Amino acid sequence: MAQIETLPAQEPRTKYPPLPPDARGGGPKSSRWWLWLALLVIVCGGLYWYYRGSASAKSDSSTDQTQTSGRGKGRGAGNQTVAVVVAAATKGDMPVLLNGIGNVTPLNTVTIHTRVDGQLISVNFKEGQIVHAGEVLAALDPRPYQVSLEQAEGTLAHDVALLHDAQANYSRYQALWNDQVIPKQQLDTQAATVEQYQGALKTDQGAIDSAKLNLDYCRITAPITGRIGLRLIDPGNIVHASDAGGMLVITQIQPIAVIFTLPQDELPAVYQKLRSNQQLSVDAYDHDNTAKLATGTLLTIDNQIDPTTGTYKLKAVFDNSDFSLFPNQFVNMHLLQDTRRNLSILPAAAIQRGPQGTYVYVVQPDSTVKVRSVNVALTVNNNVGIDNGLNPGEVVVIDGQDKLQDGSKVDQRTATGDKVGAGGASGATAPQGQAQNGAGKKKGSNGQSPANGGNNK
């Protein structure tokens, strides 16, 4: 019986080669996926807490807004009142001012020199004194020029005698020539001699006038009316007409001028007024722009614009009767270019600004406030002019607006602390003559404070 040989079992063949030990999970890299998983869990946890905190903050903010709205509704409903400061709008005119910086410039400045050489023997003025044209300021020693005058008068007398003799001889020669005793040439020569002496008399008279003029120059007089500065030379010194420094300086300060500049964009309106012969008023304020020093008129403008600054120069004249303006003083200039008529005027503190534009809180007869949009036409100092949206006599809130909303109930008081009753129109003070924002600054009768800040156009 044949024996069947049993072959050993073979391992099944695979399509791919066996994996290395690392790929089967048995190597060191097999645990890295746990690290990635842990990192993913941490990131997800952080994002969860972040969004949870943001949602909580939004919820708190919404709660605060709801509470605030509830309080606002409570005030509007009359549960609470807000203490505010109010003022009544008035009807009036407001100026359109053009503002610039100017320099006070004298209309005339004269440095006094002597016209002749000599010794200064007297000074008849005090430093800083106001002198008038024609007043004697100083005197030089006149004796040298008196001697010259006497010499010139002696020469004139000598030449007058020679002229008389020449004229007598000419009369005789004329009679002899008529009798045909002398030739015509001798007569003509004598006539020329008479004319020479007549010319000498004119020269002598000129010498006399020159000597008299020099004597007059020995008395130094003021050529203009003005203020004398510091004395530059003392009595006893020899002065010369060629001295560079002079003896003293006189500055005219009544009237006085101010030269100031304005932007070139404002030139057409001013130039048109000047061409139509309209007088424009100009006010000069101190360097702090708080105190008005003088009021004058615009005299003229320069003939060109400065290309480096884009400005043009203007010249105004002031009487300066109280000497408030001093030469080379810097001042703030306010040029009255125009006047806006029939505006509703109220304090600038009443104006609020929002996405929809400017508005005010108007106090109603039941002591509640209503938001109303207004159109600001002009701003001057601490007042504004409204040409649309507000009527004269209406009461507006000028302090405490941050606690208000439409419909809030208010407790009205004026800037002086006086309580205002229901309706408010009769008790509220107008912008004229009241303090703004509790600052206690009084306004003038025209609703303007002493300081004019910034151009208002």
Q: For residue 63, what pLDDT is reported?
A: 46
Percent of the chain with pLDDT over 70: 79
Residue 338's pLDDT band (boundaries 50, 70, 90)? confident
* Rg of the chain on CA atoms, in Å: 50
Tell which wins on pLDDT, 80 or 4: 80
Residue-wise pLDDT for 203-230, tens only, equals 999 999 999 999 999 999 999 999 999 9
Residue 18's pLDDT band (boundaries 50, 70, 90)? low
Domain map of the chain by residue range?
142-217
Residue-wise pLDDT for 225-282, tens only, equals 999 999 898 999 999 999 988 999 999 999 999 999 999 998 898 999 888 988 999 9
Q: How far apart are CA 338 and CA 433, in angstroms?
A: 23
Q: For residue 430, what pLDDT is reported?
A: 53
- Span 5-28, average pLDDT: 48
Q: How many CA atoms lie within 13 A of 90 on its CB side?
A: 17
Q: For residue 339, what pLDDT is reported?
A: 87
Fold entry, domain 142-217 = Helix Hairpins (1.10.287)
Contact 387, 91 (CB under 8 A): no
Residue 43's pLDDT band (boundaries 50, 70, 90)? confident
Burial of 108 per CB tally in 10 Å (0-12, 13-18, 19+):
middle
Residue with tokens 């964009």: 265
| pLDDT of 73 over the 50 cut | no
Q: How far apart are CA 409 and CA 368, in angstroms?
A: 4
pTM: 0.60
Q: For residue 142, what pLDDT is reported?
A: 95
| pLDDT of 374 over the 70 cut | yes
| pLDDT of 175 over the 70 cut | yes
Q: What is the mean pLDDT of the chain?
A: 81
Pairing of strands 383-388, 375-380: antiparallel
CA dihedral 282, 283, 288, 293 (to 10 degrees): 140
Q: How far apart are CA 258 and CA 104, in angstroms?
A: 4
Q: For residue 180, what pLDDT is reported?
A: 86
Q: Which of 90-94, 340-344, 451-455 has the lowest mean pLDDT?
A: 451-455
Burial of 14 per CB tally in 10 Å (0-12, 13-18, 19+):
exposed
| pLDDT of 114 over the 60 cut | yes
Residue 429's pLDDT band (boundaries 50, 70, 90)? low
Q: Which of 15-19, 206-210, 337-341, 379-383 has the lowest mean pLDDT?
A: 15-19
Residue-wise pLDDT for 271-320, tens only, equals 998 889 889 999 999 988 889 999 999 999 999 999 999 999 999 999 99
